[in-house]
A and B are shown apart, each in its own frame.
Chain A
Amino acid sequence: GAVVSQHPSRVICKSGTSVKIECRSLDFQATTMFWYRQFPKQSLMLMATSNEGSKATYEQGVEKDKFLINHASLTLSTLTVTSAHPEDSSFYICSASQGIQYFGAGTRLSVL
């Protein structure tokens, strides 16, 4: 149980385009989902906390207009990187919480 699906696993896009990443809890309902960013050989940096039906709470220094988060249902949250630039290239990981956080497999974003 407690499976979290993240899609796509890898995306390459041109600078200036927007990219949407989906995070789904497959076998449980998650009132809270989290979005993280991970730089090479570093730990996870929490970007935002997403609650179903309400606005996401962003961590200090994370641009909410740049990283749009939508949590429309108890099993789906999306992260949209708007007007992506090469500095947005990174590994993005979501988690869904059922008291305990379960993680997706991550999305490798490369912006050319």
Chain B
Amino acid sequence: GEDVEQSLFLSVREGDSSVINCTYTDSSSTYLYWYKQEPGAGLQLLTYIFSNMDMKQDQRLTVLLNKKDKHLSLRIADTQTGDSAIYFCAESISSSNTGKLIFGQGTTLQVKP
């Protein structure tokens, strides 16, 4: 079945770049997403990438997609303390016509001042 894997924890210093990695299994997945969750809050859509793209950049965020290896990454440039949160990778399920998503376990990003 479909599965999404992420590392659980990443710690960086303020001003450094953060790279959060994700692997997925559904090679027919159309869209891949990155969501951010702050404590006690819902999920905020950060960015998404269509499966026929290799890269997408949006201000400090860069998403890289390697379809061959089914690997997705999110790079946050100039990481700030406000970026501390849990980041979820998600893939759309190709067999679903309702837009169901499969989420990874979430990566906790800790930004040290």
Residues of A within 8 A of B (CB): 2, 4, 6, 32, 34, 42-44, 46, 49, 51, 57, 93, 95, 97, 99-106, 108
Contacts and interface: CB of A to CB of B under 8 A. Distances in A.
Interface stretch (B21-29, B59-67, B76-84, B101-109): B101-109
Max chain A Cβ within 10 angstroms of own Cβ: one of B41, B43, B104, B105: B43
A108 B99 contact: no
B87 to A, nearest CB: 11
Contacts of B101: 46, 101
Main secondary structure on chain A at its contact with chain B? strand
B45 A42 contact: no
A105 B45 CA distance: 12
A34 B98 CA distance: 10
Which range contains the number of B residues in contact with the other chain?
A: 10 to 19
Interface of B: 31, 33, 35, 40-45, 48, 88, 98-101, 103-106
Contact of A51 (B31, B41, B98): B98
A34 B43 CA distance: 13
A95 B41 CA distance: 13
B98 to A, nearest CB: 5
B99 A43 contact: no
Given A101-B45, A103-B43, 19 more contacts: A4-B42, A32-B98, A32-B99, A42-B105, A42-B106, A43-B88, A43-B105, A44-B103, A46-B100, A49-B98, A93-B43, A100-B31, A100-B99, A101-B99, A101-B101, A103-B35, A105-B41, A105-B42, A106-B41
Nearest to B8: A41
Nearest to B99: A97
A34 B100 contact: yes
A106 B100 contact: no
Contacts of A44: 43, 88, 103
